[in-house]
Amino acid sequence: MSNQTKGTANSAKIHAVIGASGTGKSSYIKGELLRRYKRLIIWSPLEETDQYAGFCGGVVIKGRVTALVAAVKSDAKAIVFVPTGSDADVKKQFDQFCRIVWEMEGATVLIEELSRVTMPSWSPPAWRNLSTAGRHKGLTLIGTAQRPASIDKDFLGNCTEVRCYRVNYENDAKVMADSLNLQTVYEKGQGGAAVAVKPQKQLRELPNFHFFHKNPDLSVRRGKNKSL
């Protein structure tokens, strides 16, 4: 069997983890999505607070793409890349990061804060390759955002699983209600009368650690995960 055939036979593994700061994203990622991996590489612009290196024992690379290449060529099982410099510098580093990741067959790739490096109608070509064709390389891709209305649409459209915690803005809630295909629900109000709760309201009123999760079969469940 050729490598290309193997690639097309792989199942897509693309996870979106969406929600405002402090709503439960990190506990899900660290507690469930990163429990096991062959090799791990993380784009971590907020590493000072996210502390992925401490969690996975990873090698930390700050802004130097040449050092990232060297780390990838080494035996390091986990690598944390922390972008530095201006917004333009960070976007350039992100494109280079994605090009390097493309060669890491079978790796788990975590991208934090997608809204910093993509826009609804634009993303670097190398990132598009990962989010639309990463399965050919056997990659598991995880992307996070606090403001889903500000990230590229192709990523959300290609996700195999989407977990959404509370979002605080109406336009973000609308994007996620559409992505999850949430429906209006009816709850008992005063006097037992049924009160309609629109999808956007459901998403904007989720308590911390509560979520909606779209499964690979497109079914959606509501649940709660524990804090770390």
Q: What are residue 209's phi and psi, to 5 degrees?
A: 75, 0
Q: Please report which helix (H) or strand (E) contains residue 91, including its range.
A: helix 87-101
Asked whether 150 and 120 are in contact (CB, 8 A), the reply is yes
Residue 117 pLDDT: 96
Q: What is the CA radius of gyration of the chain?
A: 18
Q: Please report which helix (H) or strand (E) contains residue 180, including its range.
A: helix 170-180
Where do the structural domains in the chain lie, given as residue ranges? 3-222
Reading the chain (228 residues) residue by residue, the pLDDT tens digits are 334 435 555 677 999 999 999 999 999 999 999 999 999 999 999 999 999 999 999 999 999 999 999 999 998 999 999 999 999 999 999 999 999 999 999 999 999 999 999 999 899 999 999 998 888 899 999 999 999 999 999 899 999 999 999 999 999 999 999 999 999 999 888 888 899 999 999 999 999 999 999 999 999 999 999 766
Q: How far apart are CA 101 and CA 134, in angstroms?
A: 10
Residue 5 pLDDT: 36
pTM over the 0.85 mark:
yes
Residue 6 pLDDT: 54
Residue 127 pLDDT: 95
Domain 3-222: state its class.
alpha beta
